[in-house]
Structure 1
C-alpha cells in the first residue's frame, strides 16, 4: 500500500493509545477494571510461561532475520502489549509494601552487629518477620521488572531490523525506466490487468446469481450512481457559489474568513461523498472480482488525495483578492499556484493507484518503474514551479530595517529545497532508484500540503479568537492564539514524522515511554502523577487566593492593623499556602523525594556559592514582611534613592521616586544598609530653613520676624513651638536657621516654598538686607608694579610686531594694554 494509505492508517491508529489507556487489553477483548484493582488483576494474571515461549520465539526470529516486515510488526505489537502488562505489574502490592516499610522504620535503625550492637529479641524477631514478608511481596515486582526489560530489549531489536530494511529499500537499485526492453513488459502487464478486469466482469455476468443480484440491486445502483455523479461534478461548484455569497454578505473580515473556510469544506466533502457513492454503486452490482475490488477500493483514497490538494491550493492561492493569502503573490502567480497544486494532487493519486497494484503483485517491478517514471518526471517539474513561487513570495515580502522576517527566510529555504528535490527525484528514477525517487518527490509534496493545512488552521483559529473577543486584530496581541498555534504545530509533528518514513510503532513507542514516565531512585513518576500533582496544587493555590481575598476585603479592613501590616499578613499567608499546596500535591501524587537527598545536598552547596545573593534577598524579604521596618506607602531614603514604597516582594522592593520613576532596590540593602524612614512612626517631621542677613542688621528684629513667619504657617506645629537659632558669623552674612515641626512631612517642599516667599516679603517690609558674596581686589606694591610695566611698555602696548620702516617709539599719549601677572598683585577679601 502506498505511503498515503499508511499515513491515513497511522493517523487512525495513533488515536487508539490516547483514547484507551490499555489498547492491548481492548484489542484482546478484556474488560477494563478501575484503579489499583485492575492493575493488580492484570499483574496476577500474567502467564510467565507463555511469555517465555513468546520471547524465545522472538529471539529466534531475530537470529534468523527471515520473517517479513509485516510479521515483524505484528510480533512487535504483541511484545508491546506484554510490556504494558509488565509495567502495570510493577505497581502490584504497592500499598502493602509501603505499610511494611513504615512498620520497619517504626522499629528504629537496625543494630550494627559488627560494632557489637544488639537489640531486644522480640524486636529482632519482629524485624525479621517484616523483612521476610517485604521480600515476598517484592518478588512479583522484581519479576515484572526483569520481564519488562527483556521485552523492551526485544522491541528495540525489532525496530532496528525494520529500520535496516527500510534503509535498504530506499537504496535498492531496480530496473531503469530508460531501458526500452522494459516497455514491452509494462505494456503486457497493463494489458493483463485490463484483461483480468474484463474477464472478472464476464465471469460474473455469466453467473446466474450475480445477474440476479444485479437485477435486484439495479434501482439502488442507478440512484447511488446518479447522486454520486451529481455530487462529484457539481458539489464543488455549489460550495464555491455559497462561499462567494458568504464573503460578500459578511461585513466583519474575521467572520467572513471563518465562514468562507467552513463553507469551502463542501468543495472537499461533496465530491468525495459522490465518488464513494459511485464506488458503492459499482460494488453493489456484484460484477467485480478481486482485481476490480482492489482498484475500486483505492479510488476513494485517490479521490481524497486529489480533492484535498485542490482544496488546499484554492485556499493557499485564493482566487478572490479579498480573501487573505498566506503568500505574497500576484493574481497570475496565484492562478499558477492553484494549477500546480491540482496537478500534484492528481499525480499523487495516480501514484497511489500504482503502489496499490504493486503491493497486490498485479504489476511487475519493471512495469512499475516504466509506468511510474512519467509521473515522477511531471511531478518533479511542477515541484520546481511550486518552489519557484515560494522563492518569489520571499522576494516580494517587505524587508524591514532588520532584514527579512524569519518566516520569509524559512519559506525561501523551503522553496529552494523543493526545487532541488524536484530535480533530484526524476534523476534517481532514471537511474533505477525508484523508491528513493518516490521518497524525494512525494514526501516534500505531502509536507507542503501539511504546512498549508497548518497555516489554514492557525488562520481560522486566530479569526475565531477575534470573533470571540469582539475585537478585530486581537489575535495578533493575545497570548492564547500563540499557545493554540503552538499546540497545533506540536500535534502536526507525528503526521510529519509519518510522511518522512516514521512507522506507527515508532510513535506508539514514544507514547508508551511517555506514559511509563521515568524513575528517580526507587520511585517511578508517570504523567498520571504529574496530572495529580497539577490538579491538587491548582486546588491548593485557588484556596490560598480565596483566603487572601477574604482577608484583604472582609476581615483585615475591620481590624486596627495598618495597611503595611495587612499586606504583610496577606503575603505571608500566600507563601505558606503555596508551600503547603506543593507539599500536599507531592504527597498525594505519591512522589518519594527521599531519593533526592543527595541532589538536594549538592543543590544547597550551589545555593551557598552561586545563589547566595538571591537567598539573601529572599530572607531579607521575609524579615521585611515580618518585622515591617519599611511598609508600603512609607517615604524612605535608601542610599541616594528617595521615594514612596510601592511594593515589597520576597526578592526586591519597588520605590517610586518623586520624579515618577520606579527604582528596584534589593531587600538586602534595606536590611543591612542605612535606611531613613520619614513616615514610619508618624507623619510629622522637622523642616530647617537657612537664611542669612547683612552685617549691621538688628539680630533681635530678624529673630522676631522669622519666628512670626514660622508660626503663621498652618502646617507648622506650635507645640513644641518653632525655633529661630542664630548660627554664627559667616563670611558674608549673619546666619540664621528656622527649625519647625510639620504635621505632615509629605508637604515639606510646599511648606519650605511658602516660608521662603514669606521671608522675602517680610524682609523687604522691615528693610532687612540679604547680602550676596563680595570680593575686593587691591594692589600690594602699586609703585613697583607701575615701574615694571613702564620698562616693558613696548612689549605690552598691544602691537605684537612692527612692519619694516615703521617707527617703534612708544607714543606717550597711547594707553597701553596692561596685563599684570600674579607676581605683581595679590588679592584679599
Structure 2
C-alpha cells in the first residue's frame, strides 16, 4: 500500500509543478552511530606539544572549540574502512550501498560543520600576524619582541587550525567514498538496462506466468477470507467498520461523481465571466475536478488500511489497483487541458476536432498503461515473480504504451504542420520543440516495444515510460504557460493578443521550466541522491580566488542592487519633477544633472551590492587587468564613445532639443547617452551618431544658448533697373516681417554685377531660427508679388543652341556645295550651311561661330 501511495503522491507532485523547485539538499543532522566525543591521538599529541609551557595558548584553549568537541574520528575511521572494503568487494546490494551512502553523508555533514569551527578566531589570528609585517628574509632579523609575538600567534593559529585540518581531511575522504558509491550504483543501473533478459515470446515461460498470476489471485482471496474469519480480528474489524463504511462511501462518491459535481458548479461560474478571468477560473475549476477523484482514491486507500481485512499480498493488489485509477484520472485531466474540448476557450495545440478527441482518449489510455505498469511492478515485487514472468506481464502493457506514444507523436507532428507559418518565416520555438518531441515519441514508442520483444525489457520500459513521464511534464508546463498568459492579462488588463506577445508570461514559463529540470532528470533515471549532490554543490557556490559566490549571495546582490536602482530612479524623478524645474538651469543642463545622478547612483548601488554580498573584488584584480588589456585593444571605440559621452554631459556643447549639424547630418538632438547621441532629422529619421564624432569632429549648433539665427536671401534683377528703388523695396519687405529682429536691423546689399542680373542680398536676423524656412518662403512670395507690382523683371539665363552638322542628323550625308566642291573636303563648313532655325538677316557668321565655338 505504501508503494501505491508513494506513486500516487509522485503523480500529484508532477501535476502540482506550479512551484517546482530543485530537490533540497539532504538535512541529516542525526549523529552517526558510535560518535562519542573523544580526541584522536594525533590531534591530542599536537595540542599537548603546542600548549606545553605556553600560557597564552592555554588561555586560548579555554575560549575556542577544542578537538574535544570534534567528531569521533576513531569511529569514523572504522566506518570509512568498512565502506572502502564494501566498495572494493563490490558485492553489496544496492539497498546496502544506499544505506552505506546515507551513513557517509551524515559523517560528511558533521565534518562540514567542524570545518567552520573557530573561523572567527582563525581570521583574527591571521590578521594579527599580518599586522606584524612579512617574515624576515634569510639573513635578516627582526626585533626579539616582534619575533616572540609572532611565535606566540603562530602557535595559537596552529592550535585552533588543528581540528579544522582534521575535519577537512575527513571531509575529503567521506566525499570521495560517496562519489565511489554513486559511480558503482550508476554502473549497476546501466548494466541492468543494457543486459538481455528472457524473451517474453518464449512459449516455455507462459505456463509459469499463468501459474504465478493464478497463485497471486487465490492467495489474495485466501488472505481476505482468513482475516475475515479470524476471531482475533473480529473486534478490530467491528471497531473500524463505521469509519471504513464512511470512508468508502465518501471515496466512491468523490471518485465517481466528484468531477460531475464540480463541473456543474464550474459551468455556472464560467457563464458569468469573460477572458481573462474566465481562463483563470477555468484552470482552477479543472484542478478541482481532478483533485476530487484523487481524494476519493486516497479515502479508499485509507479505508483499505483501516479495515484489517486485507493481508500483505492482497493489500498490495488492492492499493495498486486504486493507484491505477488515480493515474487514469491525472492522465485524463492532462489530456483535456492539453488537447482541449470543442467548446474550450484555450487552444494549446492547433488540431481538428477529431484529432482533439483522439488526443484526449490516447492520453487517458496512456495513463492507464502507466498505472498498469506500476501495478504489475508492485505485485511482482510482493510475490517475487521471476524475470520471465515479469517480461511476459509487461509486454502487452509496454506495447500498448508504445502504440499510444506513436499516435500522440503523430498528433504533435500534425500540430507542427498545421501551425507552420507561411513564407520564409520560421516556426515559433514551442512548435519546433513539439515537432521534435513528436519525432522522439514515435521513435521511442517503436524502439521500446521492439527492445522488449527482443528480451531487453528493462531498456524498453525505461525508454517508453521515461518518454511518457516527460511528455506528461511537458504538458503540465504548457498548461502553466497558458495560465501565466491569463494571469498576466487579468493583472495588467491586456487583451489576449497582447498577453500572448508579452514577455512576462514567457519569463515566468522559463523560470518554471528551469525549476522543473530536476524532475526531468529523475524521470530519466537520476537518483534523488544525485539531485542532492548537485544542489549541495550549487549551495556551496563557485570559488573565485578567496571569494565564494553562492546562490544566496547572488540573490542578495540582486536584491540590494534593485533597491539601489529604485532609490536612484526615485531621486531622478524628484529632481526632474520638483527640484530642477525651479532652478534657472536650462533643459539640457537639467538632463545632464539627471543623467549624472543616474550613473553615480547605479555605480554606488553596484558597489554596495557587491560588498554586501561578501564578494571580494580584490581577488578579481588579475581578471580586471586582463580585461583592461582587452579593452585597450578590442574595445577602443566603445571606450572612446563612453568617455566622449561623459564629456558631452559635463561640458554640454550640445543639449537635447538643440538643432545641430555634424558629419553631414542635420537635425534635432533627442537623446544623449554614454555611447551615442540620437538626432532626429527633418525627414523624421533617427540617426545614431557616436559620441566621439562630437569631440573629434566639427559640430554646428544653431540653437546653443538662444534661438536667434540669420537668414540670407539672394535676389537678382534685370539690367537697367533702378538699384536704389530695388534696395528700398527689399528693405521695406524684410523690415515688415514680425520674426525679423529690429536690433540688429536687417540689411540689404548690392553685391555684384552678374552675368545675367544685378545681384542683391537680403540678410536678416530671426528671433526663432527654427522658423527660417517658413520666413524664407514668406519673404520670397512677398518679393515676387512686389516686383510684379512695380514692374521689376527678374531675369533668367537664355541660350541659343546651334548644331554644326544638321544634315548628318537628318541622314542626308555630305552634299556638294554651290561652288561645286564637296562638303568638308571642299573646304566648306557644314556648321553654317544648315542652322536649326532660320538665321537673322544681320547675323554675322564669324560672330556666331565665336559665340558657339564649343559646339554647345
* TM-score, structure 1 normalization: 0.87
Deviations 1:692-722 (A, max 9, x none): 2222333333333323333222222233332
Aligned twin of 1:740: 764
Deviations 1:188-233 (A, max 9, x none): 2223223332332343234322012222323332232233223322
Q: CA separation of 1:46/1:186 partners in 2, compared to 1, >3 Å: closer, same or farther? A: same
Q: CA deviation at 1:638?
A: 0.8
2:433 to 397, 400, 410: 410
Taking the aligned partners of 1:562 and 1:209, their CA distance within structure 2 comes to 98
1:364 aligns with 2:386: yes
Counterpart contact for 2:66–2:160, Cα < 8 Å? no
User: Residue 29 of structure 2 aligns to a residue in which SS?
Assistant: helix
Q: CA deviation at 1:293?
A: 2.8
User: Residue 265 of structure 1 aligns to a residue in which SS?
Assistant: helix
Q: CA separation of 1:764/1:4 partners in 2, compared to 1, >3 Å: closer, same or farther? A: farther
1:427 to 441, 446, 450: 450
Q: CA separation of 1:197/1:577 partners in 2, compared to 1, >3 Å: closer, same or farther? A: same
Q: CA deviation at 1:117?
A: 6.7
Q: Which has the higher contact order (CA 8 A, sep 6+)?
A: 2
Q: CA separation of 1:720/1:467 partners in 2, compared to 1, >3 Å: closer, same or farther? A: closer
2:411 to 386, 389, 392: 389
Taking the aligned partners of 1:298 and 1:748, their CA distance within structure 2 comes to 89
Q: How does 1:750-829 map to 2 (within 5 A)?
A: 750-775=774-799, 791=816, 825-827=849-851
1:191 to 202, 210, 214: 214
Counterpart contact for 1:231–1:273, Cα < 8 Å? yes
Q: CA separation of 1:338/1:531 partners in 2, compared to 1, >3 Å: closer, same or farther? A: closer
Q: CA separation of 1:401/1:693 partners in 2, compared to 1, >3 Å: closer, same or farther? A: same
Deviations 1:782-827 (A, max 9, x none): xxxxxx97626999999xxxxxxxxxxxxxxxx9788999999453
Aligned twin of 1:688: 712
Deviations 1:142-176 (A, max 9, x none): 44444443333222222211111111111222222
Aligned twin of 1:56: 81
Q: How does 1:482-493 map to 2 (within 5 A)?
A: 482-493=506-517
Structure 1: segments with no counterpart, 5+ residues: 30-38, 782-787, 799-814
Q: CA deviation at 1:25?
A: 2.5
1:209 to 228, 232, 235: 232
Aligned twin of 1:642: 666
Once structures 1 and 2 are overlaid, which stretch shifts more, 605-614 or 251-260?
251-260
Aligned twin of 2:555: 531
1:437 aligns with 2:441: no
Aligned twin of 2:27: 23
Aligned twin of 2:36: none
1:517 to 502, 516, 541: 541
Taking the aligned partners of 2:104 and 2:846, their CA distance within structure 1 comes to 106
Once structures 1 and 2 are overlaid, which stretch shifts more, 340-349 or 290-299?
290-299
Counterpart contact for 2:22–2:515, Cα < 8 Å? no
Taking the aligned partners of 1:243 and 1:17, their CA distance within structure 2 comes to 30
Q: CA separation of 1:582/1:291 partners in 2, compared to 1, >3 Å: closer, same or farther? A: same
Q: CA deviation at 1:479?
A: 1.6
1:279 aligns with 2:271: no
Q: How does 1:267-416 map to 2 (within 5 A)?
A: 267-397=289-419, 399-402=421-424, 405-406=427-428, 407-416=430-439
User: Residue 341 of structure 1 aligns to a residue in which SS?
Assistant: helix
Q: CA separation of 1:523/1:195 partners in 2, compared to 1, >3 Å: closer, same or farther? A: same
Taking the aligned partners of 1:461 and 1:148, their CA distance within structure 2 comes to 45
Once structures 1 and 2 are overlaid, which stretch shifts more, 326-335 or 598-607?
326-335
Taking the aligned partners of 1:59 and 1:465, their CA distance within structure 2 comes to 56
Taking the aligned partners of 1:124 and 1:634, their CA distance within structure 2 comes to 71
Taking the aligned partners of 1:289 and 1:825, their CA distance within structure 2 comes to 131
Aligned twin of 1:466: 489
Aligned twin of 1:167: 190
Q: CA deviation at 1:326?
A: 2.5
Counterpart contact for 1:638–1:674, Cα < 8 Å? yes
Aligned twin of 2:37: none
Aligned twin of 1:177: 200
User: Residue 25 of structure 1 aligns to a residue in which SS?
Assistant: coil
1:586 aligns with 2:590: no
Counterpart contact for 1:780–1:826, Cα < 8 Å? no
Counterpart contact for 2:659–2:703, Cα < 8 Å? yes
Structure 2: segments with no counterpart, 5+ residues: 34-63, 806-812, 824-832, 840-844
Q: CA separation of 1:538/1:126 partners in 2, compared to 1, >3 Å: closer, same or farther? A: farther
Q: CA deviation at 1:460?
A: 2.2
Once structures 1 and 2 are overlaid, which stretch shifts more, 365-374 or 47-56?
47-56
Counterpart contact for 1:636–1:677, Cα < 8 Å? yes
Aligned twin of 1:151: 174
Taking the aligned partners of 1:779 and 1:433, their CA distance within structure 2 comes to 100
Q: How does 1:469-618 map to 2 (within 5 A)?
A: 469-473=492-496, 474-618=498-642
Taking the aligned partners of 1:10 and 1:77, their CA distance within structure 2 comes to 26
* TM-score, structure 2 normalization: 0.84
Aligned twin of 2:679: 655
Taking the aligned partners of 1:732 and 1:130, their CA distance within structure 2 comes to 103
Q: CA separation of 1:171/1:776 partners in 2, compared to 1, >3 Å: closer, same or farther? A: closer
Q: CA deviation at 1:470?
A: 3.3
User: Residue 329 of structure 1 aligns to a residue in which SS?
Assistant: coil
Once structures 1 and 2 are overlaid, which stretch shifts more, 11-20 or 218-227?
11-20
Counterpart contact for 2:676–2:691, Cα < 8 Å? yes
Q: Kindly report the root-mean-square deviation, in angstroms, between the aligned alpha carbons of the 2 structures.
A: 3.8
1:69 to 94, 106, 124: 94
Counterpart contact for 1:5–1:301, Cα < 8 Å? no
Aligned twin of 2:746: 722
2:251 to 212, 224, 228: 228
User: Residue 741 of structure 1 aligns to a residue in which SS?
Assistant: strand
Taking the aligned partners of 1:535 and 1:402, their CA distance within structure 2 comes to 43
Taking the aligned partners of 2:693 and 2:93, their CA distance within structure 1 comes to 73
Counterpart contact for 1:7–1:499, Cα < 8 Å? no
Taking the aligned partners of 1:130 and 1:680, their CA distance within structure 2 comes to 68
Q: CA deviation at 1:670?
A: 0.7
Taking the aligned partners of 2:611 and 2:30, their CA distance within structure 1 comes to 32
Deviations 1:459-510 (A, max 9, x none): 1222222222333313213221111111222222222211111111121211
Counterpart contact for 2:399–2:449, Cα < 8 Å? yes
User: Residue 346 of structure 2 aligns to a residue in which SS?
Assistant: coil
Counterpart contact for 2:718–2:757, Cα < 8 Å? yes
Counterpart contact for 1:319–1:334, Cα < 8 Å? yes
User: Residue 24 of structure 1 aligns to a residue in which SS?
Assistant: coil
Counterpart contact for 2:20–2:515, Cα < 8 Å? no
User: Residue 689 of structure 1 aligns to a residue in which SS?
Assistant: strand
Aligned twin of 1:801: none
Q: CA separation of 1:287/1:261 partners in 2, compared to 1, >3 Å: closer, same or farther? A: same
